[in-house]
Amino acid sequence: MDEIIHHPTKGARLEDKEVIVISGSSGLIGRSLIKRLAKRYRVVGLDRVGPPYPPLEAECVNFNIKDEKAIDAAMERIRYGYGSKIASVIHLAAYYSFNTKDSPGYDEINVKGTRKFLNQLQDFEVDQFIYSSSDLIYKPVEPGTKIHEDCPVEANWGYPESKIITEDLIRKNNEKINTVFLRIAGIYNEMGHSIPITQQIKRIYEKELISHFYSGDVNHGDVFVHLEDVLDALEKTVEHRHDLPHEIAINIGEPETPTYQELQDKIGKLIHGKAWETHEVPKSIAKAGAWTQNLIGDPFIKPWMIDRADDHYELDISRAKKLIDWEPKHRLMDTLPVIIENLKEDPDAWYKANNLK
């Protein structure tokens, strides 16, 4: 296995700092989280993707979560460099794609990869295992109904299904380590970085005909959360690791859910100076249109997405407030003006940052 190592920067009594291990450390959350946690902890990042690697505050070990031998080699490097005591393992590594409803990656990486990772962790003294789950595992609700952590789960596509399966797998195979399931909403920041939000902005910005139509109830919506608030939640979860129950799920998201229509109108006004006219269309027509578009190109909207266009989520975050003293400081509707301003200021950079054509 190829191994790429960056050594931490020098600091006073670095050896006295507790060790944090972050899988998926080259991702959007991982890179930012390392910068934040490195001020107080010795951080080790694990990821097979690179470059860019996380900043020099951390040592970065290249590993493949699908390969148990590669995971073993990476963990032996951690044992050699830092010992067997780990304060917290933050498991961010996951596969996620809107291109298909189901993918082998969900099972190979999210489920089986996590199982292999957990197998290796059993030989270490780990105080806490944080699993980055999703609010999409919940059964959708009607507007006005808050989802708490004991509400029913229900998956209607591969990604949330893999999260449900993996949560159950962790419960059965991680009895020695205190575990926190952070069920995180859709993440965004001032440049966008939320695929559903940036695609919606793109459609309106380019005045696409399809931007005026929606196959679900326009008064339904999804939950979102700012990247900085997610970092706060992760840091606080680590800080409170000795106070939390042996196993606990915690919702991480904004307490208000903007509807699809509210987002349409806000984006339309910010870009074109007027509310965006939006019409609901029958699912049969929407599916036919999506199917036709997918024959002649690679649009974002896939036929399978039509079935979940009515899904609505609202989160109860009272447990997060009580157990880790967390609540979000940002709101998507307040951040949209900054996202749109960044788009207007440099469309090419904005499109590139959000992997848009």
d(CA 297, CA 166): 34
d(CA 88, CA 205): 43
Q: What is the pLDDT of residue 343?
A: 98
pLDDT tens column, 179-234: 999 999 999 999 999 999 999 999 999 999 889 988 889 999 999 999 999 999 99
Q: What is the pLDDT of residue 308?
A: 82
Q: Is the pLDDT of residue 310 over 50?
A: yes
Q: What is the pLDDT of residue 357?
A: 83
Among 195, 187, 185, 201, smallest CA distance to 337 is for 201
Q: Which phi and psi (to 5°) does residue 52 adopt?
A: -80, 145
Q: Is the pLDDT of residue 297 over 60?
A: no
pTM score of the predicted model: 0.90
Indicate the burial class of 90 (C-beta count within 10 angstroms; 0-12, 13-18, 19 or more): buried
Q: Is the pLDDT of residue 53 over 70?
A: no
DSSP 8-state symbol, 138: B
- Structural domains in the chain, CATH included, are 19-191+224-256+314-330 (3.40.50.720)
d(CA 71, CA 300): 34
Q: What is the pLDDT of the chain when averaged over all its residues?
A: 89
d(CA 284, CA 300): 18
d(CA 328, CA 233): 9
User: Alpha helix locations (H) across the chain?
Assistant: 28-37, 68-82, 104-105, 114-121, 158-173, 195-205, 227-239, 260-272, 283-296, 318-324, 332-345, 347-353
DSSP letter string, 24-82: STTSHHHHHHHHHHTTTSEEEEE-S--SSPPPTTEEEE---TT-HHHHHHHHHHHHHHH
d(CA 300, CA 213): 14
Q: What angle do CA 52, 54, 58 make, to 5 degrees?
A: 150
Contact criterion met (CB below 8 Å) for 350 and 241: no
Q: What is the pLDDT of residue 288?
A: 55
Q: Which phi and psi (to 5°) does residue 324 adopt?
A: -125, 10
d(CA 245, CA 208): 50
Q: What is the pLDDT of residue 86?
A: 97
pLDDT tens column, 116-135: 999 999 999 999 999 999 99
Residue with tokens 């006073």: 12
Q: What is the pLDDT of residue 6?
A: 41
pLDDT tens column, 60-71: 888 889 999 999
